[in-house]
């Protein structure tokens, strides 16, 4: 189809384009390679099935913003089909051989698929362009108060325009070029109905004009690809390449909140956490290239939603714009995210969970905290009380270990000394053992265990804080000491199973202690309650009047550990009618206490996180807010009091214990 001169020019253009593209790719490889850690290529084998589903079906995209997700899928699926289409078009341009017309039924079906895909891509990109440039929803940008690279506000719009223009030109011209070819053939192609319909418009056009049109369409369609390639490494469109790599090669984690192990016994370690971008893991630097700048992480962030300075999206965008501007990875991270934003994070994991390309901005923030706390001794002063409590008395409340069992006075609660071989080791946790309100949860669960005749024990005075709050606040030294001590005690006890009344304890024992040599079967108390109900060991007095309850999913239970059904099943067994909040299960909104926020003042904003969540609970019309976490219990109780105290806040165990026969 192309003339000899055109063929030569096209080859030269491709060579120049690929060279310029490689220079951009080379810089990306260098930047990612400057990060910490090594790639574990073996994980691909384990993930290949999930990878095909995620990439092929765009499954992560559909978890949020259904309308735009459908439009994105139309474009994405169309592009996947166009890999063969563009190859066939190149073969035709150089040989006049139409590949798909000589592949039998496969070629016929693929031409039909391409016809549909062509229309879908054009319709999808036009709709997305209208949304981006005409409707301009606030969710596609960030507040002026957010620290954002000076070139990003205009740059994101410009990048979106370039990408949208490229996609539209490439596909529209391909569509027109194919219609000219069908018109030249003199008959419609039943396997390309849309293209054949347009081809009918050219019935009175001369063959010379159609041939010229076919040539022009090729240069604009395939030429657009050649022209776009050098820009590709700098555009957000590069997520097409890095999203699959993200899903395929991210380091293995037991949970989205599991942090990397640091051996503090290793005296050679000189750097803790991340002060510069190169201190981050290689995959964390790669996150900036995978970022599609969709702001979904920002939209679900509890801190951004309540007017704080934190925007996880801005962090990734700032990293990208710094690198795209020629900046090196030895840049101070303080220039990319403010300290106030760093300390606002609740480590709820919502940003990680919702990201359609597998980015982990929360992990960057916690690594920055490690550096601020361990290297600079720069942390909110309110945290000092909790730190001293964990160091001196092994709990952030700074209550003496001698008083660890006071909550159990008047109850039969066997310690491990009294019952050295229990079926269940109950890890009570600091809050249920020391906090006056949370102690009611412990007392209720003890009642359940005793009623069911469970063979259990507690560590009593030997139980210490797991160190979750210290670790999320960056004090890896405190966490290391507590974790080492606890693992030594637990390994000596050798528990068959551990039950916790705190999701933060569950998460730490289950997901982070294995790095210290502690491998245990750990379950949440609501899961164990369901086991007891299923075994017929406990029964409840279910009244005719339903107790209208809305369950607030703790972040470290639902999102971090995927436990969402157990609390609801336990409430159902107790005769409660559960009314769901709009944001629930793995998409639950944070209570505001995680990430060591429990021990410090909340950053200034337009609202408090717990009060925003309580307002959502109140809107359901429920009489009781049920929780499964002592931190959530405190935060929601405080919000209820601030609202007038009309709605009760109770742990699931309290509701179950009250209705035991």
Residue 1: is its pLDDT beyond 90?
no
Q: What percent of the chain has pLDDT over 70?
A: 100
Whole-model pTM? 0.93
The number of C-alpha atoms within 13 Å of 586 and in the hemisphere containing its C-beta is 14
Helix (H, G, I), strand (E, B) or coil at 18: helix
| Domains identified in the chain and CATH numbers | 1-39+265-378 (1.10.1060), 64-140+149-229 (no CATH), 383-531 (3.40.50), 540-658 (3.40.50.10700)
Give residue 351's pLDDT.
98
Residue 556: is its pLDDT beyond 90?
yes
In this prediction, residue 305 has a pLDDT band, given cuts at 50, 70 and 90, of: very high
Residue in the structure block whose two tokens are 């050679």: 268
pLDDT digits (tens, 9 = 90+) for 11-36: 999 999 999 999 999 999 999 999 99
pLDDT digits (tens, 9 = 90+) for 326-363: 999 999 999 999 999 999 999 999 999 999 999 999 99
In this prediction, residue 544 has a pLDDT band, given cuts at 50, 70 and 90, of: low
pLDDT digits (tens, 9 = 90+) for 458-485: 999 999 999 999 999 999 999 999 999 9
pLDDT digits (tens, 9 = 90+) for 573-616: 999 999 999 999 999 999 999 999 999 999 999 999 999 999 99
Q: CA 547, 551, 556: angle at the middle one, nearest 5?
A: 155
| Residue 336: closest CA among 274, 293, 378, 270 | 274
Residue 448: is its pLDDT beyond 80?
yes
Instruction: Work out the average pLDDT over 393-400.
Output: 94
pLDDT digits (tens, 9 = 90+) for 253-277: 999 999 999 999 998 998 999 999 9
Query: What ranges in 516-629 are assigned the alpha helix state H?
Result: 525-534, 555-558, 565-573, 609-618
Q: What percent of the chain has pLDDT over 90?
A: 93
Q: How far apart are CA 338 and CA 128, in angstroms?
A: 32
Q: What is the mean pLDDT of the chain?
A: 95
H or E stretch covering 215: helix 207-228
Residue 79: is its pLDDT beyond 90?
no
Q: How far apart are CA 282 and CA 249, in angstroms?
A: 11
Q: How far apart are CA 596 and CA 373, in angstroms?
A: 13
In this prediction, residue 129 has a pLDDT band, given cuts at 50, 70 and 90, of: very high
Q: How far apart are CA 25 and CA 39, in angstroms?
A: 18
In this prediction, residue 545 has a pLDDT band, given cuts at 50, 70 and 90, of: low
pLDDT digits (tens, 9 = 90+) for 306-322: 999 999 999 999 999 99
Q: Considering only the C-alpha atoms of the chain, give the largest distance between any 2 of them, rounded to a whole number of Å.
A: 99
Q: What does the DSSP 8-state code read for residue 101?
A: G
Token pair for residue 129? Answer: 């362009």
Helix (H, G, I), strand (E, B) or coil at 173: helix
Q: How far apart are CA 506 and CA 466, in angstroms?
A: 9
pLDDT digits (tens, 9 = 90+) for 604-630: 999 999 999 999 999 999 999 999 999
Token pair for residue 246? Answer: 């993200």
Give residue 77's pLDDT.
87
């Amino acid at each position: 189809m192309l003339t000899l001169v055109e063929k030569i020019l096209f080859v030269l253009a491709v060579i120049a384009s690929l060279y310029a593209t490689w220079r951009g790719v080379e810089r990306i490889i260098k930047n990612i390679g400057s990060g910490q850690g090594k790639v574990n290529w073996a994980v691909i084998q384990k993930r290949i099935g999930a990878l095909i589903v995620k990439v092929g079906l765009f499954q992560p995209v559909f978890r949020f913003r259904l309308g735009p997700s459908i439009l994105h899928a139309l474009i994405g699926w169309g592009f996947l089909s166009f890999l063969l289409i563009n190859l066939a078009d190149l073969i035709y341009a150089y040989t006049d051989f139409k590949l798909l017309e000589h592949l039998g039924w496969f070629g016929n079906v693929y031409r039909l698929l391409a016809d549909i895909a062509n229309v879908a891509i054009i319709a999808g990109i036009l709709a997305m362009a209208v949304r981006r440039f005409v409707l301009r929803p606030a969710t596609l940008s960030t507040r002026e108060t957010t620290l954002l690279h000076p070139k990003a506000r205009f740059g994101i719009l410009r990048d979106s325009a370039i990408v949208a223009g490229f996609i539209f030109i490439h596909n529209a011209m391909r569509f027109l070029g194919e219609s000219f070819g069908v018109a030249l053939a003199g008959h419609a192609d039943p396997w390309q109905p849309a293209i054949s319909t347009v081809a009918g418009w050219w019935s009175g056009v001369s063959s010379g004009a159609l041939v010229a049109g076919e040539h022009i369409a090729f240069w604009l369609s395939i030429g657009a690809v050649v022209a776009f390639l050098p820009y590709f490494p700098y555009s957000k469109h590069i997520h097409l390449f890095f999203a699959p790599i993200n899903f395929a090669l991210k380091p293995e984690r037991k949970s989205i909140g599991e942090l990397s192990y640091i051996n503090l016994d290793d005296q050679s370690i000189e750097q803790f956490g991340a002060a510069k971008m190169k201190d981050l893991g290689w995959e964390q630097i790669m996150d900036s290239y995978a970022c599609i700048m969709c702001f979904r992480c920002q939209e679900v962030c509890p801190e951004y939603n309540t007017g704080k300075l934190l925007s996880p999206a801005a962090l990734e965008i700032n990293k990208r714009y710094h690198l795209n501007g020629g900046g090196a990875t030895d840049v101070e991270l303080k220039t990319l995210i403010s300290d106030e934003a760093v300390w606002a994070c609740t480590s709820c994991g919502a940003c990680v969970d919702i990201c359609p390309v597998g980015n982990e901005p929360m992990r960057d923030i916690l690594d920055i905290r490690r550096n601020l706390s361990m290297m600079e001794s720069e942390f909110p002063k309110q945290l000092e009380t909790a730190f001293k409590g964990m160091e001196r008395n092994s709990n952030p409340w700074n209550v003496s270990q001698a008083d660890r069992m006071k909550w159990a006075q008047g109850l039969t609660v066997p310690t491990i000394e009294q019952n050295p071989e229990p079926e269940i080791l109950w890890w009570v946790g600091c809050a249920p053992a020391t906090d006056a309100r949370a102690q009611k949860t412990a007392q209720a669960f003890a009642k359940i265990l005793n009623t069911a005749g469970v063979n259990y024990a507690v560590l009593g005075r030997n139980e210490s804080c797991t160190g979750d709050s210290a670790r999320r606040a960056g004090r890896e030294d405190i966490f290391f000491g507590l974790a080492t001590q606890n693992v030594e005690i637990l390994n000596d006890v050798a528990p068959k199973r551990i039950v916790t009344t705190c999701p933060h304890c569950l998460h730490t024992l289950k997901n982070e202690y294995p790095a210290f040599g502690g491998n245990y079967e750990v379950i949440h108390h609501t899961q164990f309650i369901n086991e007891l109900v299923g075994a017929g060991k406990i029964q409840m007095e279910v009244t005719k009047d339903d107790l209208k309850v809305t369950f607030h999913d703790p972040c470290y239970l639902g999102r971090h550990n995927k436990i969402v059904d157990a609390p609801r099943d336990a409430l159902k067994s107790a005769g409660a009618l559960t009314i769901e909040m709009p944001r629930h299960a793995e998409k639950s909104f944070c209570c505001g206490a995680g990430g060591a926020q429990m021990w410090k003042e909340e950053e200034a904003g337009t609202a408090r996180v717990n009060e925003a969540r309580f307002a959502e609970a109140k809107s359901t019309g429920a009489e009781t807010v049920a929780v499964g976490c002592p931190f959530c219990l405190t935060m929601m109780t405080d919000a209820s009091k601030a609202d007038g105290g009309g709605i009760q806040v109770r742990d699931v165990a309290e509701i179950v214990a009250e209705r035991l026969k």
